[in-house]
Amino acid sequence: MRRIKTLSAIVVLVTLFLIFFYSTLHLETAYGRRADPGGPLKHATSQVQDSNVKTPSFTTPHPAVHDVSVSDVLRQIIPQNGAYWNRLLYSALRNLNKGEDPFSYDTNWSGCRETSQEFLQNNMHDFSSYPVLFQDFLQGMKCRTPPVLLNQPNKCISGDRKGDNPTFLLFAIKSTPGNFERRQAVRETWGREGTHQSQLQVRIVFLLGSPSLDDPNLTQLLSFEASQFKDLVQWDFHESLLNLTLKMHMFLQWTLKFCPNASFVFSGDDDVFVNTPAVLRYLQSLEPYKASRLYVGHVISTASPLRDPQSKYYIPLSFYDGPYPAYAGGGGFLCSGALLQPLHSVSRVIPFFPIDDVYAGMCVEALGVSPEVNNGFQTFDIKEQDRENLCVHKGLLLIHQRSPLQTKKLWKGIHSPLLTC
Three-state helix/strand/coil letters over the chain: CHHHHHHHHHHHHHHHHHHHHHHHHHHHHHHHHHHCCCCHHHHHHHHHHHCCCCCCCEECCCHHHCCCCEEHHHHHHCCCCCCHHHHHHHHHHHHHHCCCCCCCCECCHHHCCCCCHHHHHHHCCCHHHCCHHHHHHHHCCCECCCCEEECCCCCCCECCECCCCCEEEEEEEECCCCCHHHHHHHHHCCCCCEEECCCEEEEEEEEEEECCCCCCCCHHHHHHHHHHHCCEEEEEEECCHHHHHHHHHHHHHHHHHHCCCCCEEEEEECCEEECHHHHHHHHHCCCHHHHHCCEEEEEECCCCCECCCCCCCECCCCCCCCCCCCEEEEEEEEEEHHHHHHHHHHCCCCCCCCCHHHHHHHHHHHCCCCCEECCCEECCCCCHHHCCCHHHHHCCCEEECCCHHHHHHHHHHHCCCCCCC
Q: pLDDT for 253-274, tens place per residue?
A: 999 999 999 999 999 999 999 9
Cβ neighbours around 27 below 10 Å, total = 10
Average pLDDT over residues 175-196: 97
- pLDDT-derived band of residue 330, with 50, 70 and 90 as boundaries? confident
Residue 180 has pLDDT above 90, yes or no: yes
Average pLDDT over residues 390-396: 95
- pLDDT-derived band of residue 165, with 50, 70 and 90 as boundaries? confident
pLDDT of residue 184: 98
Least confident of 28-42, 164-178, 329-343: 28-42
pLDDT of residue 92: 94
Average pLDDT over residues 102-120: 87
Q: pLDDT for 20-66, tens place per residue?
A: 333 333 333 332 333 333 333 333 333 333 333 333 332 333 334 55
Residues 6+ apart with CB under 8 A from 370: 295, 326, 364
What is the rounded distance in angstroms from the CA atom of residue 192 to the CA atom of residue 196?
10
Residue 158 has pLDDT above 80, yes or no: no
Residue 188 has pLDDT above 70, yes or no: yes
- pLDDT-derived band of residue 307, with 50, 70 and 90 as boundaries? very high
pLDDT of residue 23: 36
Class in CATH terms, 148-414: alpha beta
- pLDDT-derived band of residue 68, with 50, 70 and 90 as boundaries? confident
What distance separates the 2 farthest-apart alpha carbons in the chain?
110
Could you tell me the CA-to-CA distances from 388 to 324, 331, 383, 410 in Å, in that order? 35, 20, 10, 9
pLDDT of residue 53: 32
Cβ neighbours around 87 below 10 Å, total = 14
- pLDDT-derived band of residue 159, with 50, 70 and 90 as boundaries? low
- pLDDT-derived band of residue 98, with 50, 70 and 90 as boundaries? confident
Mean predicted lDDT score pLDDT of the chain = 85
Least confident of 56-70, 143-157, 315-329, 376-390: 56-70
Least confident of 55-69, 255-269, 304-318, 404-418: 55-69
pLDDT of residue 66: 56
Average pLDDT over residues 366-373: 96
Could you tell me the CA-to-CA distances from 193 to 18, 171, 180, 188 in Å, in that order? 61, 9, 17, 9
Residue 176 has pLDDT above 90, yes or no: yes
Percentage of the residues of the chain whose pLDDT score is greater than 90: 76
pLDDT of residue 55: 32
pLDDT of residue 162: 46
- pLDDT-derived band of residue 106, with 50, 70 and 90 as boundaries? low
Q: pLDDT for 189-238, tens place per residue?
A: 999 999 988 789 999 999 999 998 888 999 999 999 999 999 999 999 99
